[in-house]
Amino acid sequence: MLSRCLLAVAGLLCALARPAAADPKPVTLWHVFNLETDMIYGGIKGFNESQSDYRIDARLVPANQLNAELIKAIATGSVPDLVTLDNPVVASFSAQGTLTDLSDRVAKSAVVKPDVYFKGPWASGLWKGHIFAVPRDANTLALCYNADMFRTKGLDPAKPPQTWSELVSAAKTLTDPGKNVYGFGFSAMQAEEGVFQWLPFLYQAGGSIQHLDAPEARESLQLLVDFVKNGWASRDVINERQYEVTNTFMAGNSAMVLCGPWELPRLQKDAKFDWRLALLPVKDGKDIHASSLGGYDWVIPKGATDSDGAFKFIEFMSNPKILNEGWKTGRLAPRSDVVVENPLWPQAYAIYREQLQTARARGPHPQWPDLSRAMQIAEQEAITGARPIGDALADAAKKIQPILAKTPL
Amino acid sequence: MMPRRLLLRRNWVLSAAGVAGTAIYLFPIYWMFISGLKTPAEIFANPPTLIPLHPSLAAYDYVFMRENVLRYMRNSLSIALPVTLLTVAMGAMGGYALSRLRSRLVDLALLVILLLQVFPEALLATPMFIIFKLLGLLNTFAAVILATTSKTLAFALIVLRPMFRQVPIELEEASMVDGCNRFQTFRRIVLPIMQIPLIVVGALSFVQAYGEFVYPLTLLSRQELQPATVGIYSFVGAEYADWHRVMAFSSVFVLPVLVLFLLLQRRIVAGLTAGALK
Amino acid sequence: MNRRGWRFLRGRHPRRRAARTVPVGSRSPLLFLFLAIPVAYLLALVAFPVAYNVLMSLQDVNLGNIADLLRPFAGLDNYRAVMADPEFRKVFLNSLMFVGSNVVAQVGIGLAVALFFSQRFPWSQGLRGLLLAAWMLPALVVGALWKWLFATEYGVVNFVLIGLRLVPAPIHWLSDPSLSLASVTIANIWFGTPFSMILLSAAVAGIPLEPYEAAALDGAGPLQRFRYITLPALRPALLAVACLVTIYTMRAFDLIFAMTGGGPLDSSNVLPLFSYQFTFQQFSFGIGAAIGSFAFVIVFGVALLYVSTLKREATE
C-alpha cells in the first residue's frame, strides 16, 4: 500500500519535472488544394517537423465556398490565420481593410523579396502601395492540341496555329461532325472562368477592359462568336467550365482547347493520344503576345490570432525548394528564380513558363467581380446571339465606366 | 371480389409496370453507379456509353482507402440520428397540439413556423454562427444538430398536424373518461396509432439531416468532424473535380440510407398486415 | 379491393363516419406546453438569423463593416437597387415559374405514384422505397448527373431522343436560354417528387376503408371514388405537402448552382441563387439580403393562403 503511494508520488513528480516545453502554437490555415500531391501537404509536414514554435492546423475548404467562408469568418469575427485566395479577389478584401498589411514583414524577410516575383502575380497583392498578399503559385493559358488528329487531317503537328487566322482555319479543318469532333473548345460560362478565357484574345487584339466599346474588343469577341456560329466549337461552351471543355478534349471530341497547367496531371493519365501544347496564337498584324494570369495568393486576414506564425509558413512555402514541388500538380512558381530541373512534361513546362512572361493580372481592383460580371453578360449575350455584339459590349462598357471612373484599374 | 386467378394476373401486371417505371425513374442513379466505374474521360465521351467500357473499381478503392469514407459517414450518422430523435419528439408534441388547439392560435403558430423557413440556409448560416459562437458550441456536433433540427422540425410540424387530426377524438375522450389524464392518453392511445406517420416523418428527417451541407460546412471547421456531404468535396478541386471518385463516394453515401428505408418499409408493411389479420 | 388502412391496434372501436375532430377541452395546459416547446425552439434559433438578414437588407453593408451589427442605415435603397437591376425581373419571374411548376408536378406525380403503389402487388413496398434514392443524393451529385444527362453532345437524353428518332437534332437543354429553366425544373422535379410521394403514401394509408366499401355497394366507379372519397380525405395532407414543397423550392438553389450556375444569361437563375451571388460573389451584402427578403414576401403569401385553407377544415 505504501509502496504504491510512493510510486504514484514519484510518477507525479516525474511528470511535473518535465521541462516546461511550450506546446507549438496552432496556426489555422484554410486552403482549397485537394490533390494529395500538392506542395502544400509536403510543406505543412515539413514546417511542422522543422520547428516547434508553430503547428499548422489545416482545413480543406471546397473551392467554390472559400470566398463565402472567408466572408462569414470576417462577419463573425472568427478569422483563420492564413488563407489561400484566388488572386483577382484579393483586392476586394484588401481595399476594405480586412487583410493584414504585410509590408513590414516583407521588408524584413529574406525569402519573400518583391523583385524576385513576376510582376503580374506580385501586383495582385498590392493595394495603395501596401502589400497584402504573397503569391503562392501562378498559372496561365496555352493552346492544347491533339497531334494525332492533326496528322489525320493533314495538318503538321509540329506547326501548331500561331495566328488567329491559322487557328480558325485549323479549327475548320479539324471539325468533323461525323466523328463528333469540334475543332476548338473554350469556356464561355457565365462565371469568372469565361472572362478568364476571353481576356487573352481581348489583349491580343490590342483591346482593354477600359474600352470595351472599342473595335478591338469587338474583334476579340467576334472571333469567339464565329467559332460557335460556324459550328467549329460547341454551343455548350456557354455552359461549360474550363475543365469540362478539357474533358471533351480528353474524350476526343475537341481537337484544340485552351487549357491551364492544372490539367497536366489529368491529361497525362486520361488522354490516350499525342497531346501537345503551344503558345497562344496572336492576332494577325498585331503580334501582341498576351494571356490571362491566374493563381493563388497567401493572405493573412486582419484579426488573425497568430499572424507571425502564418507569415513564417508563407516564407517556408515561398522557398524555391518547395515551389519546385508545385509543378508536380501543374502549379507554376510565381518567382523568376525558380526553374524546375527535369520537370515533368518538359514541353508543357517550357511553353507555360514562356507564356507566363506575357500573362496579365486581372485587376487588382476592389470591384473586380462587378467588372467581370459585366463582361460575362456581354460574352454570353454575344455568343447566344441574344444581342448583337456591338450592343452587348456597349452595355458592358456603360456598366464598367462608372466603376473605373471611381477607381481606375 | 375478383377471382383469385385474375387478381394474380392483375398483380403481376402492376408489378411489371412498377418495375419498369421505377427503373426508368432511377436511371440517373444507375448513371451515378457506373460513372464511379468509368475513367474520367469516358464519363464525358460522345457518344455516351451505357455500359462502362473498362469497368474498374479504382475509384471505389481510392474512396475507401485514401479518403476516410467511414469517418465521414460516422460523422454524418452522429448528426443525423440525434436530429431525427429531436425532430420526432418535438414534432409529435407540436403536431398533436396543433391538431387539437383552437384555430386562431394554430394559424398564428403555423404562420410563424412557415415564415421562419423563408431564407435559404446560406444566408442563415452567418448569424447561426454568431449564435453558436456566443454559446461556445462551435466545432461541436451539438451546434450542427441544433441548427439542422430547426429545419426538419418545421417540416415535421406541418406534416404531422393533418395526420394527427385523423385520430378520432372519441378515442381520446373515451380514454379520459376511463380516468387517464391527457398526457397518458397521448402516450398510450394517440402515439401508437400515429406510429407509421411518425416513422415516416422520422425517416425523412433522417435523410434531410444526413444530406445537410451548409451548417456542417460553416459550423465545423475541424476536418475530423466533417460529415460526408462536406467530405465529398475532397474530390472537387479548385479547377476540376474527379467525378468518378465523387460518384463512387456518392454511391457509398446513399447505400446505408437506402437500406434503412427498405428495412423500414418492411416494418410498415408488417404494421399494416398485423392489423389486417384482425 | 383496396385492403389497406389502419387497423387500430388492440381491437378498438370500428370507425364510423368521418371522425369528429372538434377538440374538447382544448384549453388543456398540456396542449399549450406541447405547442410552446417546438415553437419556442424555432424562435430561439431562427428568429435572430431572420432578423439579421432583414436588418442587413436595410443597411449599407460592405466587408469593412459587416462584422458590426449597426451599420449605416440605407432605408429602402437596397430594395430600389434590386428592382432597378435589369436581371431582377427575369429572375423573379423565373422563381415564380420554377416554384409553380415544381409544386404542381411534384404533388401531382407524387400523388399518382403514391396511389399506384398503395395497391398491394408484389414488390410494391420495396419499389416505393427505392424511389426515395433520388431524394437522398447530395445536390452536388444530382446537379452534376443531370448536367451530364442534358449535355448537348455527350448527354444520354439527346442520345436516346435522337436514337428513337423523336427529334431531328440535338436539343440544347442547358445552353439555350429558352430551355435552361425547363431543364433545371425537370431535374428538380425528379429530385423532389419522392419526398411528396412518401408523405402522400403515408396519408393514403390512413384513409379509412368503410367509405370505399359503401361506395362500391352503391355502384360508384373508380373515378367517382377518387373524386368524392380519396381527394377530400387527402386534402389536408395535400395542402400541407404543397405548402412544404413551395417553401423548399423557394429556397433551394444548390441544384441549379451545380447544373447551370443560373445561366446562360440568368435564364435559369432564381431568387435564392441570385441572392447568393450578390452576397458571396459580388460582395454586395445588403442587396443580397434584400433579394432574399423578396422571397419572404412570396412565402408570406403562400403561408397566408395555406393557413386560410385550414379554416374550412375546421368546419367540416
Instruction: Render chain C in DSSP notation, one character per residue.
Output: ----S---TTT-PPP-SSPP---SSTT-HHHHHHHHHHHHHHHHHHHHHHHHHHHHHTB---TTTTTSS---B-TTHHHHHHHHSHHHHHHHHHHHHHHHHHHHHHHHHHHHHHHHHHS--TTHHHHHHHHTHHHHS-HHHHHHHHHHHT-TTT-HHHHHHHHTTSSSS---TTTSTTTHHHHHHHHHHHHHHHHHHHHHHHHHHTS-SHHHHHHHHHT--HHHHIIIIIHHHHHHHHHHHHHHHHHHHHH--HHHHHHTTT-STTTT--HHHHHHIIIIIS--HHHHHHHHHHHHHHHHHHHHHHHHHHHHHHH-
Domain containing B223 equals 76-277
A21-138+295-353 CATH pick, 3.40.800.10, 3.40.50.150, 3.50.50.60, 3.40.190.10: 3.40.190.10
Residue C93 makes CB contacts below 8 A (sequence gap 6+) with none
The B residues from 67 to 126 touching C (CB cutoff 8 Å) are 90-91, 93-94, 96-103, 105-107, 109-124, 126
Nearest beta carbon to residue B122 from set C6, C203, C276: C276
**pLDDT higher at B196 or A117:** A117
Q: Is the pLDDT of residue C8 over 50?
A: no
- How far apart are alpha carbons C132 and B39 in whole angstroms? 28
Using CA coordinates, name the residue in chain B closest to C3: B276
> pLDDT tens, C154-195?
999 999 999 999 999 999 999 999 999 999 999 999 999 999
- How far apart are alpha carbons C198 and A117 in whole angstroms? 60
> pLDDT tens, A316-349?
999 999 999 999 999 999 999 888 888 999 999 9
The H or E element spanning position A298 is strand A296-299
- How far apart are alpha carbons B251 and C147 in whole angstroms? 18
> pLDDT tens, C81-126?
999 988 899 999 999 999 999 999 999 999 999 999 888 788 888 8
Taking an 8 Å cut-off on Cβ atoms, the answer to whether C177 and A384 are in contact is: yes
Residue A6, pLDDT score: 66
Q: Is the pLDDT of residue B135 over 90?
A: yes
Question: Where residue A13 falls among pLDDT bands split at 50, 70, 90?
Answer: low
- How far apart are alpha carbons A299 and B237 in whole angstroms? 20
Chain B residues with CB-CB distance to A244 below 8 A: 44
Interface pTM (ipTM) of the complex?
A: 0.90
Answer yes or no: is B31 within a domain: no
Using CA coordinates, name the residue in chain B closest to A57: B222
For chain A, percent of residues with pLDDT exceeding 70: 95
SS3 A242: helix
Closest listed residue to residue A284, CA positions, set A165, A147, A409, A158: A165
Domains A21-138+295-353 and A140-293+367-406 share a fold: yes
Residue C312, pLDDT score: 67
- How far apart are alpha carbons A23 and A141 in whole angstroms? 44
Taking an 8 Å cut-off on Cβ atoms, the answer to whether C67 and A76 are in contact is: yes
Question: Where residue C10 falls among pLDDT bands split at 50, 70, 90?
Answer: very low
- Domain of B244, CATH number, reads 1.10.3720.10
What is the average per-residue pLDDT within C282-309? 88
Q: Is the pLDDT of residue A180 over 60?
A: yes
Q: Is B269 on the interface with C (CB under 8 A)?
A: yes
Residue B46, pLDDT score: 83
- How far apart are alpha carbons C250 and C275 in whole angstroms? 12
Which of B56, B240, B242 is the mutation pick for testing A, counting most A CBs within 10 A?
B240
Name the domain count of chain B. Answer: 1
Taking an 8 Å cut-off on Cβ atoms, the answer to whether B117 and C251 are in contact is: yes
- Compute the nearest-CA separation of C189 from chain B (Å): 11
Domain boundaries, chain C: 81-315
Classify residue B224 as exposed, middle or buried by CB count within 10 Å of its CB (0-12, 13-18, 19+).
exposed
Structural contact between residues C114 and C200, judged by C-beta atoms closer than 8 angstroms:
yes
Chain C residues with CB-CB distance to A75 below 8 A: 66-67
Classify residue A23 as exposed, middle or buried by CB count within 10 Å of its CB (0-12, 13-18, 19+).
exposed
Answer yes or no: is B43 within a domain: no
Chain A residue set in contact with B, beta carbons under 8 Å = 28, 32-36, 58-60, 62-65, 68-69, 72, 75-78, 80, 86, 180, 241-244, 246-248, 250-253, 260, 262-263, 266, 270-272, 296
Q: Is the pLDDT of residue A12 over 80?
A: no
Q: Is the pLDDT of residue B129 over 90?
A: yes
Chain C residues with CB-CB distance to A251 below 8 A: 154
- How far apart are alpha carbons B125 and B110 in whole angstroms? 23
> pLDDT tens, A356-385?
989 999 989 999 999 999 999 999 999 999
Structural contact between residues B110 and C279, judged by C-beta atoms closer than 8 angstroms:
no
Answer yes or no: is B222 within a domain: yes
Residue C285, pLDDT score: 93
**Three-state helix/strand/coil letters over chain B:** CCCHHHHHHHHHHHHHHHHHHHHHHCHHHHHHHHHCCCCHHHHCCCCCCCCCCCCCCHHHHHHHHCCCHHHHHHHHHHHHHHHHHHHHHHHHHHHHHHHHCCHHHHHHHHHHHHHCCCCCHHHHHHHHHHHHHHCCCCCCHHHHHHHHHHHHHHHHHHHHHHHHHCCCHHHHHHHHHCCCCHHHHHHHHHHHHCHHHHHHHHHHHHHHHHCCCHHHHHHCCCHHHCCHHHHHHHHECCCCECHHHHHHHHHHHHHHHHHHHHHHHHHHHHHHHHHHHC
Answer yes or no: is B71 within a domain: no
User: Across A42-187, where does the E strand assignment appear?
Assistant: 54-60, 82-86, 126-127, 130-131, 133-135, 139-140, 142-146, 182-185
Specify the pairing of strand A82-86 against strand A25-31. parallel
Q: Is C154 on the interface with A (CB under 8 A)?
A: yes
Q: Is C64 on the interface with A (CB under 8 A)?
A: yes
Taking an 8 Å cut-off on Cβ atoms, the answer to whether A191 and C261 are in contact is: yes
**pLDDT higher at C109 or B266:** C109
Closest listed residue to residue B127, CA positions, set C73, C57, C250, C46: C46
Classify residue A147 as exposed, middle or buried by CB count within 10 Å of its CB (0-12, 13-18, 19+).
middle
Chain C residues with CB-CB distance to B119 below 8 A: 49-50, 53, 251, 292, 295-296
- How far apart are alpha carbons A243 and B43 in whole angstroms? 13
Tell me the CA distances in angstroms from A81 to A37, A113, A322, B190, B223, one per residue in order.
23, 22, 21, 55, 16
Using CA coordinates, name the residue in chain C closest to B199: C202
CATH number of A140-293+367-406: 3.40.190.10
Q: Is C178 on the interface with A (CB under 8 A)?
A: no
The pair phi, psi for residue B240, each rounded to 5°, is -155, 170
Taking an 8 Å cut-off on Cβ atoms, the answer to whether A98 and C261 are in contact is: no
Nearest beta carbon to residue B47 from set C43, C133, C159: C159
Q: Which three cell numbers stand for residue A159?
A: 506547326
Q: Which residues of A29-48 are buried (b: 16+ CB within 10 A; e: fewer)?
A: bbbbbbbeebbbebbbebbb
Closest listed residue to residue A56, CA positions, set A314, A282, A324: A314
Alpha-carbon torsion angle A161, A163, A166, A172, nearest 10: 90
Binding partners of A (≥3 Cβ pairs within 8 A): B, C
Fold of C81-315: MetI-like fold (1.10.3720)
Residue A11, pLDDT score: 55
Question: Where residue B190 falls among pLDDT bands split at 50, 70, 90?
Answer: confident
Four-residue CA torsion sign, C290, C292, C295, C296? negative
Taking an 8 Å cut-off on Cβ atoms, the answer to whether A235 and C260 are in contact is: no
Specify the pairing of strand A126-127 against strand A54-60. unpaired
Q: Which three cell numbers stand for residue B139?
A: 466545432
Q: Is C208 on the interface with A (CB under 8 A)?
A: no
Q: Which three cell numbers stand for residue A210?
A: 477600359
Q: Is the pLDDT of residue A397 over 50?
A: yes
- How far apart are alpha carbons A161 and A146 in whole angstroms? 12
Domain boundaries, chain A: 21-138+295-353, 140-293+367-406
> pLDDT tens, C199-237?
898 888 878 788 888 888 888 788 888 888 888 888 888
Structural contact between residues C275 and C159, judged by C-beta atoms closer than 8 angstroms:
no
Answer yes or no: is B224 within a domain: yes
Which of A38, A39, A60 is the mutation pick for testing B, counting most B CBs within 10 A?
A60
- Compute the nearest-CA separation of B276 from chain C (Å): 6
pTM of the model: 0.90
Four-residue CA torsion sign, A248, A250, A256, A259? positive
Taking an 8 Å cut-off on Cβ atoms, the answer to whether C300 and B115 are in contact is: yes
Using CA coordinates, name the residue in chain A closest to C87: A377
Q: Is the pLDDT of residue A220 over 70?
A: yes
Question: Where residue C25 falls among pLDDT bands split at 50, 70, 90?
Answer: low
> pLDDT tens, A255-301?
999 999 999 999 998 889 999 999 999 999 999 999 999 999 999 99
Nearest beta carbon to residue C264 from set A96, A373, A384: A384
Taking an 8 Å cut-off on Cβ atoms, the answer to whether A251 and B47 are in contact is: no
Give the range among B184-188, B236-240, C22-26, C147-151 with minimum mean pLDDT.
C22-26
- How far apart are alpha carbons A329 and A323 in whole angstroms? 11
Residue A133 makes CB contacts below 8 A (sequence gap 6+) with A85, A87, A90, A94, A99, A102, A124, A125, A297, A298, A299
Q: Is the pLDDT of residue C292 over 60?
A: yes
Q: Is A71 on the interface with C (CB under 8 A)?
A: yes
The pair phi, psi for residue C199, each rounded to 5°, is -65, -40
Residue C271, pLDDT score: 93
The B residues from 149 to 178 touching C (CB cutoff 8 Å) are 149-150, 153-155, 157-159, 161-163, 165-171, 173-174, 176
